Structure formats: structure tokens, C-alpha cells
Amino acid sequence: MNTTTIHNPVIWADVPDPSVIRVGDCYYMISTSMHSMPGCPVMKSKNLMNWEMVSYVYDSFEDNSAHKLLNGKGIYGKGSWATSLRYHEGIYYVCFSSNDMQQFYVYQTKEIENGPWERFVIPGLHHDPSLLFDEGRVFVFHGNGSIRITELTADAQAQREGGLDQLLFETETEDIGLRCEGCHAYRMNGYYYLFFIEWPSNGNRRRRQMVYRSAELLGPYERRIVLDDDMGYQNNGVAQGGIVDSVTGDWFAVLFQDHGSVGRIPCVVPVHWEDDWPVFGVDGKVPQQFAAALPAEEVKPLVISDGFEYDRNRLALNWQWNHVPDPDLWSVTERPGRLRLRTGALSQSVEYARNTLTQRTEGPACSASVLLDLSGLTPGDRSGMVALQHHLGAVGIWVDDSGARFVVMSVNGEEGQETAVERIPYEHSFIHLKMEFDFAKSLDIANFFYSSDGENWHTIGSPLQMKYTLDHFMGYRIGLYCYATRKNGGYADFDDFCYSKTV
């Protein structure tokens, strides 16, 4: 078998709360997607280093105003959290809780890359769950500090009547700011292993990886710290995730690290065993790189350029919508070779504008540009590109009540309305827009540009100091948007979305 050099992070982009399994010689990873739709992205790899998008679990999982970003409501920072991925007797299982719905969701399929997925809803919030299949029984471990075990039916479609549903144990409380959560459960070596993260308020004061072990399902459980390292980055611990083996019997942990405004980025850590305890890293550290007996694999891009050449209204998997889109208000076939976004519900900010189409940003630096046809915009319309988080920055065209056009760099105002930083009259029918992101050395800066010809670029506005905040709980995304502030009926056509990143 070839040897692959794993470089950390394996993905320098927002892929939080990873859950990884191996089926045969393929690894599959799923992660938290919150308000991005379609949701629960499934990635595939042969070597844990090179990942490609292969599917999503759902296009949307609820039909209400908040999920559709209507009437001033949204599910920013909510939606699907900490998804658990498992494979058992030919079926793939995905489960997560939704904080806004206070419900627990289980999805099942025999074809993880093609679906379809069958959905089951169980009342009650099961925070950061982990599924465990154990000798014909199915359990969910969940909770924050107060760790509970809940038994499901054998088909994992409902809570088992009369089954286990109890407090399993309480985790440490002394000098702990965030008690144990983010469970990943396994049974092997004659033990039950429960992996968590916790965040102490003394010592290193950073997120660290824990493991609880017991020979009996209901305990008692022993406890160990298995990783407490920040890879030299701002005391942000690498933690939260599970373990997975290789065909040849090697073991690895897939965890994540908070990494500023780009989001939470996944890392792979070598694992070995001593006295049936997992030992993470090399001398207690996450290596910047290490050799693994895994096959070489072609690198597939996570974020892509797109000329919008589609023969049906189904976009590349790399794109996700901000909340559930209105399918009647977007098209890549109405004007072939263009993404057409029509205005819908009125808004005063792109943060609450429906049908904003997004992709991730990537470190250490990246840029994106797009060509925008303005001919369909009407008075009061706004369209362009956005660096999307709560502390957003955007560059685009605003049309005033008289029909005059202005190229504008804008940010979120104190009251949530979009506020112009710089506004310049613009008379052309087309405009090229560009954003550049710098995440290296903790700069977290975005800059904004426009051009009438795609060659001579002009800076506009001011650099955006990007901030990762928990109201969105997601790294910055590149978004394409078109919304109305006065009345519906306008539209924008996008072409030649070009993306590049610094390696």
C-alpha cells in the first residue's frame, strides 16, 4: 500500500463536528451544517487527507418561516448540530438534534452516496448525540455534563418503549467552564468508550479531548484526558470527534480546531493503544504532518469555480443555500449559462435575504470574483457578493428609487440593516465583483473590489475585520445574492464565478 502524508489541517475550511466511519476501504465524513441547505454534507476519502463532496442527507428538514428565512426569522446558529454517522448491517444511519425544533432526527439509507434517505423524528432534544449498535440494541448517548443514555427500537426509528432512558453519569464540574459534550461512542476491546470534549477554566484553559471507559454499559466509567494541544494557534484546542481504523489496523482520530473567522477546521491525529486506552498524537501533540499507510488519492476541490452551465436546476454539490430557498426564484436554465436570482420577500439586509447561494471560504487565503448583469434590477434592488457571517461585508449594486445605480461596499449596521461604507455612481450594465480573504497569521481580513471590464480593479469601502461569532456559529461564506427593499419583480444574472485559494 502507498504511504500518504497527512498535513494538518486536512481541510482549512469550516467542517465542524466531524463524524467519520470506514466502510471497506472508503471513509465517509459528515458534519454540522446548521442553516445551510442542502444539509448534512457527506464527504468521501480513501486516505483521510483528500476529501470530496458526494451527497447530502436532506434538501431541507423542516418547512416553516424560520427555516425559510421569512418574516425576520431564521435558524442562524441552530438547525442541525453535531451529526452522528454510523453504518450497521448494510444501512447508513445519521442522527442529529435541532435546537430550534427541540427534536431528534434519524435518517437511514442503503446508498450513502445516492440516497434516498428515510426520515424519522423523535420528540425531545438529544444534545450532540452518538449512536451505538450493541448486540441487537440501539442506544443514543447525549448531553452536556449530565450524560444520558436513551434506547431506541432495534430499527432506530423511534424511542423504545420501556427501554433505557436515564442519566448515565455526571462529568467533572470543578474548574470546568464547558462540561463534557460532543459524544462519540464505541464498543471494542471489551470496553465501552465515550469520547467527549470539555473546556477547563484553569490550567491551559482550552478545549481538550476526553475519553470515558467502562467494561459495563451503565458503568462505572473511568476518565482520561487524551489530548490537550493547540498546534501553536491562539490556545485553541484540537478536540471533539471520534476515532476510526484503517484496513491495515492503524488508528486515527478526526477532530476539529476553532480557527478564527474561517471556522472550525478538521485535523487528523494518529492514535495507538496502551492497556486498552487510546493514546492521541505524538508525545501528546498533534503533528503538523505525518506519514500514514493509506493510499494516495487525487485532490478534489471543496470550493469550486462555476460557469453555471447546467442542463437542469440542480447545482454542483459544493454550493449550499443560506436557509431553505424558494425554488421559483432561482434558475440556471431560464437563461442558460447564467445563475438567475429573482427578488422575493423584502429585506433590509443580505443577512435576511432569501435565496443567497453560498460556498465556504478556505485558508490560508482565497479569493472569488463574479460577473453580474444588472439589466434585470429594478428600483430598490440590491445584488452582489457577500462575505457572510453576522459581521458581514458585501460589494454589489444598489438601485435607488429613481433607477440610478451605485456600486456599494456595505456592512451590517447596529440595527441589523445593511449600511453603505462607500457608494459610487455606476452607469454600466455589467459589473465584475471580487472579494479577497486573508486568514493567515490570524489577520482575518476581507477586501472588496469592482471592475467594469474584469481587468482594471478598484478597491471600494474599507477592509472588513472578520469575526467568528456564535449567532451564526459558522465560518465566513462567499455568497451571491439579489433582494428587494421596495417591491418584487427584479432579478440579477451571475456568470463566471471564479475561485482561487492559496496553497
* Residues with a known catalytic role: 17, 181
User: Do 430 and 371 meet the contact criterion of CB atoms below 8 Å apart?
Assistant: yes
**If we measure between CA atoms, which residue out of 400, 383, 479 comes closest to residue 437?**
479
Q: Are 495 and 370 in contact (CB under 8 A)?
A: yes
Contact 81, 36 (CB under 8 A): no
Q: What length does the chain have? A: 503
The 8-class DSSP code of residue 159 comes to B
b/e for 338-375, b at 16 or more Cβ within 10 A?
bbbbbbbbebbbbbbbbbbbbbbbbbebbbbbbbbbbe
Cis geometry, peptide bond prior to residue 38 (ω within 30 degrees of 0): yes
Nearest-CA neighbor of 121 among 142, 111, 106?
Answer: 106
* Calpha distance 127→342 (Å, rounded): 37
Task: Name every residue whose Cβ is closer than 8 Å to that of residue 292 and which is 6 or more positions away in sequence.
Answer: 3, 4, 5, 6, 47, 48, 49, 246, 250, 252, 268, 270
Kindly tell me the number of DSSP H helices and DSSP E strands found in the chain: 0, 38
The CB density around residue 309, as the number of other CB atoms within 10 Å, is: 10
